[in-house]
Amino acid sequence: MKENFNKIYVKEIIEQSVLRRAAWCVLILLATAIKASAHEKWFHETENYGLRWDLLFRPVPLAFIGAVLLATFAAWLYWRRRGQRGFVPGPENFGATDERRSALYGLIPAILGVHVAVPLLVGGVQGQLFSPNNQLSGVPMYALGLAQTGIALAIFYGALTRIAAIALGVLWLAGVFLVGIEPMLDNTMYLGFAAFFFLAGRGPISIDRLIVPPLEPSARLMEKAMPALRVGLGLSLVFVAFTEKFANISLALVFLERYPLNFTAALGIPMSNETFILCAGAAELLIGLWILFGIFPREIILIAWIPTNLTLTIFNWTELIGHLPIYGTLAVLLVWSPGRENLTLWTSGLREGPLAILRQNSTHHDKQNV
């Protein structure tokens, strides 16, 4: 009995040691690389810098990608073994009651609405589709600019939100034909927001709740909203890791020449610009995959949060406004807890409270979605 206990104890010590070393490796990688993760396409012309898949399929880039995939798989196994419990405590561990957590969840659609409406509105009035590098001209600029502005206002005020969410998804699909599939893949998070607001609605603090109750989604649909939001952001980060780093090293190199963000020499661990780019791509890919699959979400967000904001003082308002949807999603995922009990609090927060969904309307919707 004692021998078995010692074996288990030693095994746990070894696992914790390996985990600590892996965590330090990830931390060092992020701290030294994410500073280059500003969107290169937003601040440098891309006309002469198409994707170069031949540069991707080389031993060194493939080794970086393989290492990220291996680390992600190992983290997923450990995440499952821990019962999907992370190391960073959530609101419930700090004494937040179920009632107050539910009330917070009721505010989330309004909070996210502001974070996504502002960049949509700014892009709409400037003739840019979702991000600064997608500059429109002619008739599409006026038509899509008007559509983007209308969607932004609808989501901001919570008026006909689910219809606006459908329009946002259609706008994303239209962008595939107008500016290309690559820029739209980089902005997959907007497709995630479209799915989120269609599935969750705009919550109790909205015009919809007051005067358009038939537009409220069912509880079953609301349960799918958070995964859709998380997947949208995760996919965006994964795609950007390839379109701006791994498969577009030429663009990243000229970007670093213009904006010398490679600060590794100052840390005593000098890297070439290409190695620095691969590290940045690996970090972005790692973050994207962990968010996509919901692996230690609080840990990866806290690790990445500070370094991902380091370039704000360099790129100012353009980056701040463009990254608002990312900041909002990360903040929500930071307080989110997986599990059936949490989903119950989520739907309760969206459907109940001072402006609760009318019972007869709720019953009607639930019957429609059976």
pLDDT 10s digits, 69-104: 999 999 999 999 998 888 999 888 888 898 999 999
| pTM of this structure | 0.84
- C-alpha to C-alpha distance for 146 and 140, rounded to whole angstroms: 10
The low-confidence residues of the chain, meaning pLDDT below 70, are 1-49, 307-308, 358-370
Give the residue from 25, 36, 21, 27 showing the smallest Cα distance to 272: 36
Which helix (H) or strand (E) element contains residue 275?
A: helix 273-292
Give the residue from 355, 362, 353 showing the smallest Cα distance to 104: 353
Instruction: Give the single-character DSSP code of 180.
Output: -
Give the residue from 258, 287, 288, 257 showing the smallest Cα distance to 273: 257
What's the alpha-carbon Rg for the chain, to the nearest Å?
22
pLDDT at 359: 57
Give the residue from 107, 190, 208, 204 showing the smallest Cα distance to 152: 190
pLDDT at 181: 92
pLDDT at 8: 45
pLDDT at 263: 72
- C-alpha to C-alpha distance for 46 and 40, rounded to whole angstroms: 9
Token pair for 75:
């983290």
What number of CA atoms fall less than 13 Å from residue 278's CA on the CB side?
A: 19
Q: What are phi and psi of 130, to 5 degrees?
A: 75, -40
pLDDT at 338: 81
- C-alpha to C-alpha distance for 318 and 127, rounded to whole angstroms: 14
Which helix (H) or strand (E) element contains residue 172?
A: helix 161-178
Instruction: Note whether 184 and 129 are within 8 A (CB).
Output: no
